[in-house]
Amino acid sequence: MKDPLKVFSGTANPDLTTAICKELDIPVGQAQVARYSNDNLFVQVGENVRERDCFVVQPLQTSENIVELLLMLDALRYASARRITAVVPYYSYARSDKKDMPRISIAARLIADLLVTAGANRILTMTLHSPQVQGFFSVPCDHLAPTPLFCQYFQRMDLTNFVVLAPDAGSAKRAGAYASRLNLPLGFVDKRRVSDLQVEVRSVVGEVAGKHVIIFDDEIAAAGSLLETVKSLQSFGVADIYAGATHGVLSGPAVERIAQMPIRKVVVTDSVAIPPDKRMPKIEVLSVAPLFAQAIKRIHTGESVSAMFE
């Protein structure tokens, strides 16, 4: 691999950056992130990056993560990096992709504009809640999918009498990709979101009675949607229930809800950091480091990223 490649880490998920760099066989770039007494953040790149191809890995779990990434991009820009790629395994605010209520912000577009303004020449992300957010960027944006990871995991099981289920109609296309690759039938849930923590399930479309079900979604935040989906499936007489989601945000009451659900396994990735207190035997974490490492290598060498999934 060419010498100019540099991969830096924000503080949101340094373990993922370390794993990516291990796959690439390079050290993590030197950078310092500190906080002043007035809560302002201080960022300094600790090595020469002039004319280097630089990547910054930072999932956007919190507003502070966003500010930190903006500062790191800006620092690299002023340090004369040749190209700067923002590697955003989890892109928050992707749900805010349209003006569906009066007087609200289209935050997904705002964050995209901020990243580009701060110095990002390219974006590398994974499983956007709304695929159209990819078009909000005025710079190239590569959109990865963890489909191979989840399929490899579930293919180790006997998939006889299984069905893939999308948690809502909007997720049917994403879940359909899993169903096609696993050669399983597809169903979906008709639901309505009542609030951030609560959803209402109206019906289940597809043959699920007596079958083992795998629910595929883009993320599990408060787990309200997963909880109501599991409850509704019980009334249809399904057998075992599994769930797969790219982003294990696990906010609010998520862990408690999962612990109480009659669900065999919840499979997520390490696109966001999952602390030890949120891990349990029911939750399986797959690493996306190999996928991001391969994508970074391809971007650096000018190869096709989409060819990874062909």
Cα separation, 88 vs 275, whole angstroms: 19
Does residue 265 have an active-site annotation?
Answer: no
Contacts of 156 (CB under 8 A, 6+ apart): none
What is the Cα–Cα distance from 285 to 274, expressed in whole angstroms? Answer: 9
Q: Which residues pair with 245 in a beta bridge?
A: 217
In sequence order, what are the residues at sequence separation of 6 or more whose Cβ sits closer than 8 angstroms to the Cβ of residue 195?
A: none
Q: What separation in angstroms does the CA of 120 have from each of 1, 38, 50, 71, 230?
A: 22, 27, 15, 11, 40
80, 51 contact by CB (below 8 A): yes
Residues 22, 191, 231, 265: which is the catalytic one? 191
Question: Is residue 246 within 8 Å of 281, Cβ to Cβ?
Answer: no
Residues annotated as catalytic (active site), given as ranges: 191
